[in-house]
Structure 1
Amino acid sequence: MNTLRTLLFALFFYPGTAGAVFLAFPAALVGREAVIRVTHGWARWHRWCAAWFLGVRSRVEGSPPRGGAIVAAKHQSMFETIEMLLLLDRPAIVMKRELADIPGWGWVARRYGIIPVDRKGGAAALRRMLRAAQVAIAEGRPIMIFPEGTRVAPGERPPLQPGFAGLYRSLGLPVVPVALDSGRIWPRHSFVKQPGIVTVRFEETLPPGLPRAEVEAAVHKAINALEYGP
């Protein structure tokens, strides 16, 4: 049954995604807000398909931030990368530069306001990332980052990537850690999804200006809060 559910999800969601990409190109010619509207429409389509075909829904605990903040989230599946577009207010998402360099799609993504990060680019790459982040802050948008750098399986707790500390130190913004458990029902290396509820927990906000070791330890503990159990 779960295999059939997943097949139905793919048959509906991915053609809808192709349509959203097609609409995004003319929207990008109009401006950023037009791209954001198309993106949010696509995210709502994903939420509907996940709920009706897969039986996957999210349960939000805590309060999503509004305005200037760094939102640092656990990353276990594709689900949260799309769901967070609806839970936050027009987030500017930090993502790998390779994705932003894809011909055509990368141009649209930059028009949306993504923040490309080049992990091997050194200081120059960090400066480019900060310039993009400052544009987003000027527009009143939160900065969304997955500080572990990649999707991980439930139970894995890798250290944070250095790009998080660079953003935190340079932008002077509070940090809202986000714990989630999507990997239980949306495995990263499995086509078949399981029905269930994904908990998305917005943890206590951390103030700007903390020492690097302190903020990294606090964020690491907070985003993994659902991993430790009761």
Structure 2
Amino acid sequence: MVCVMLVWLASLIGDGPMRARVRGWAHFHRLCCRWILGIGLRIEGEVPEGGVLVALRHESFFEAIDLPMLLRLPVPFPKAELMDIPGWGWAASHYGAVTVSREEGAKALRAMVSSARGFAAQGRPLAIFPEGTRVRSGVVAPLQSGFAGIYKLVNLPVVPVAVDSGRFYHRRWKKPGTVVMRFGARIETGLPREEIETRVQAAINALNPHYSAAEGAAAGG
């Protein structure tokens, strides 16, 4: 709540200070992880810039909190219920977010796509967790059906990101180690649903020891 209040106060000055405060919060989290919890971070691959769809594996709150440090002004896709959280929803809306309203039909989908395209046109990367929720380390989860639809409608290349934060950063416990975030090769637009889902799932599971070489090869990874 303190961080939300600081973001609100910064917003009275302008968008720049408000966004800097959000990034500062993510930076503070990194420092706490490194120097208090003993959890470091190693980034592999090329971090994308501009209007792309960044698809990250989601194992813990670590990558969600770290997004404003990882990417330049990322635009997340929070669920509608998260936007109802007092303070947080207001801050996310003013920072820039595409609200996912799964139960509100075609009108909500059109609004979501229009919002996403608008942010991408500003050169801001769109950051999505295609599995839809946190997945335990080592588990291979299917992608949510909405991911392929978003990919098709926003018509942006995808940069997949493999993450192994769940080995060290659990919601109930933490242990020292180094979280790896591995940016994969950019995937072009216009692919069929089955192909984009297969390629993204293979890429975001690149650090998953239980994702077999056979599965990766079948996925084109």
Do they superpose with TM above 0.5? yes
Report if aligned partners of 1:126, 1:163 keep a CA contact under 8 Å in 2: no
- What is the one-letter code of the residue matched to 2:144? Q
- List per-residue Cα deviations over 1:91-128 (Å, max 9, x = no partner): 00111111112233212210000111022222222112
Answering whether residue 182 of structure 2 is matched by residue 201 of structure 1, we say: yes
Answering whether residue 108 of structure 2 is matched by residue 92 of structure 1, we say: no
Per-residue deviation, 1:40: 0.3
Per-residue deviation, 1:58: 0.8
For 1:173 and 1:42, the matched residues in 2 are separated by: 29
Report if aligned partners of 1:73, 1:223 keep a CA contact under 8 Å in 2: yes
- What is the one-letter code of the residue matched to 2:116? A
Which of residues 80, 89, 93 in structure 2 aligns to 1:110?
Answer: 93
For 2:28 and 2:169, the matched residues in 1 are separated by: 17
Change (3 A) 1:69 1:140: same
* Alignment-derived partner of residue 13 in structure 1: none
Change (3 A) 1:104 1:87: closer
* Alignment-derived partner of residue 181 in structure 1: 164
Which consecutive unaligned segments of at least 5 residues does structure 1 have?
1-17
For 1:67 and 1:203, the matched residues in 2 are separated by: 16
For 1:27 and 1:161, the matched residues in 2 are separated by: 36
Answering whether residue 170 of structure 2 is matched by residue 170 of structure 1, we say: no
| Aligned-partner SS, 1:66 | coil
Change (3 A) 1:31 1:130: farther
- List per-residue Cα deviations over 1:36-80 (Å, max 9, x = no partner): 111001011001111000000110110110001000000000111
Per-residue deviation, 1:229: 7.0
Change (3 A) 1:101 1:47: same
For 1:75 and 1:211, the matched residues in 2 are separated by: 24
RMSD, aligned CA: 1.5
Per-residue deviation, 1:163: 2.4
Answering whether residue 202 of structure 2 is matched by residue 221 of structure 1, we say: yes
User: How many matched pairs?
Assistant: 211
Q: Structure 1 length normalisation: TM-score?
A: 0.87
Which of residues 29, 34, 45 in structure 2 aligns to 1:51?
Answer: 34
- What is the one-letter code of the residue matched to 1:144? A
* Alignment-derived partner of residue 124 in structure 2: 141
- More moved, 100-109 vs 137-146: 100-109
- What is the one-letter code of the residue matched to 2:46? S
Report if aligned partners of 2:51, 2:122 keep a CA contact under 8 Å in 1: no
Q: Which has the higher helix share?
A: 1
* Alignment-derived partner of residue 123 in structure 1: 106
- What is the one-letter code of the residue matched to 2:88? W
- More moved, 208-217 vs 158-167: 158-167
Report if aligned partners of 2:4, 2:87 keep a CA contact under 8 Å in 1: no
Which consecutive unaligned segments of at least 5 residues does structure 2 have?
214-221
Change (3 A) 1:30 1:162: farther
- Taking every aligned residue pair, what percent have the same amino acid on both sides? 49
For 2:69 and 2:142, the matched residues in 1 are separated by: 27
Which of residues 137, 143, 152 in structure 1 aligns to 2:135?
Answer: 152
* Alignment-derived partner of residue 219 in structure 2: none
Per-residue deviation, 1:186: 1.1
Report if aligned partners of 1:126, 1:166 keep a CA contact under 8 Å in 2: no
Per-residue deviation, 1:30: 4.1
